[in-house]
Amino acid sequence: MITVLRLGHRPARDKRVTTHVALTARAFGADAVLVSTRDPGLERSIRGVVRRFGGTFRIETGVAWRRILNEWQGTKVHLTMYGERLEKVLPRIAREDLLIVVGAEKVPRELFDLVDWNVAVGNQPHSEVAALAIFLDRLLGPAALGREFAGPLRIRPSPRGKDVVESGT
């Protein structure tokens, strides 16, 4: 089970980026996303994608992030440009019950001590969406992107244009 915890979501400012964090988590192999700020619109949006495109991905907003971090039984990884290099620590990160933490705004200093690993995809400023995608891809490999979600809508690869297939067609 892989869960992504999004800290510091500001609905007015971060709606699109947090949506992309959730969509990236789902597409790249995570099972759930938890968001520290309550946002029913974000929940509706992601649940709509799951309903249309399939899968069992779960979203919950308004979670008590400190409690989650303190009670988490598995491995906790914080993606930050200040952490250890991904290549160095990836072989030592357990994949079972993994919690991946990504921030929106500046994260509280205590977060660095509440996790097992502070991991840097790169040591330059970059998007948390990119960091999450690269981390999950390196962690799970190409099989994660090839999964079938068995939803009513499926995108058929096409060299030009959009080819969306509905169930039964």
**pLDDT surpassing 70 at residue 131:** yes
54: left (phi over 0), alpha (psi -120 to 50) or beta: left
Predicted confidence (pLDDT) per residue in 87-104, tens digit: 999 999 988 899 999 998
What are the residue boundaries of the structural domains of the chain, listed by start?
2-166
Does 2-166 carry CATH code 3.40.50.720? no
Q: How confident is the model at residue 18 (pLDDT cuts 50, 70, 90)?
A: very high
At 157 the pLDDT is: 81
Find the angle CA(15)-CA(100)-CA(153) to the nearest 5 degrees. Answer: 55
**pLDDT surpassing 60 at residue 85:** yes
Task: State the residue for tokens 């699109």.
Answer: 16
Task: State the residue for tokens 């290099």.
Answer: 85
Distance CA 19, CA 100 (A): 16
Weakest-pLDDT range from 12-21, 81-90, 117-126: 12-21
At 126 the pLDDT is: 85
DSSP class of residue 127 equals -
**pLDDT surpassing 80 at residue 39:** yes
